[in-house]
Amino acid sequence: MLERIKDDMQAAMRAGDRERVGALRLVLSELQKAAKEASGGALSGEGELAVLRRERKRRLEAAGAYREAGQAERAGGEEAEAELIGSYLPADLSDEELRALVEQAVRDSGASSVKDMGAAMRTAMAAVDGRADGKRVSELVRAALADA
């Protein structure tokens, strides 16, 4: 992943795409920082994906804050960066796939009411493996437990 981002950044430099270069530099910096903090100085594939997900989430939260403050142009820039980062992540699960995983996770966890939400969420998030936003998962788990 690190090499792919470096290659893409070089290509963006050659093309003169300043915004893309800036976004990729930030992502590359975060990946390198996380690698230094990791034992052995290298990140696993999962570690890289976790950093990318975190950075995408930060951009989306910043975009929301800018939009609320009436700064649509800055919000658009943050959203574009989030989309760029998202292009390096595996595709999100469809609603049907996610619903099936959540229903299976609720059964596997033995959860029977909303009081068991924590156990059901742990099982569901492990099954989802970062391919869906926690908020989406939480809503589906809550709905599944409410129906139980």
List the domain boundaries for the chain: 2-86, 95-147
pLDDT at 42 exceeding the cut of 80: no
For residue 84, give the nearest of 27, 134, 15, 35 by alpha carbon: 27
Class of the CATH domain delimited by 95-147:
mainly alpha
Tell the CATH topology of 2-86.
Hypothetical Protein Yqey; Chain: A; domain1 (1.10.1510)
Matching fold, domains 2-86 and 95-147: no
Supply the pTM of this predicted model.
0.71
pLDDT at 148: 62
Q: Quick one: pLDDT band at residue 8, thresholds 50, 70, 90?
A: very high
pLDDT at 41: 65
Q: What is the mean pLDDT of residues 118-141?
A: 87
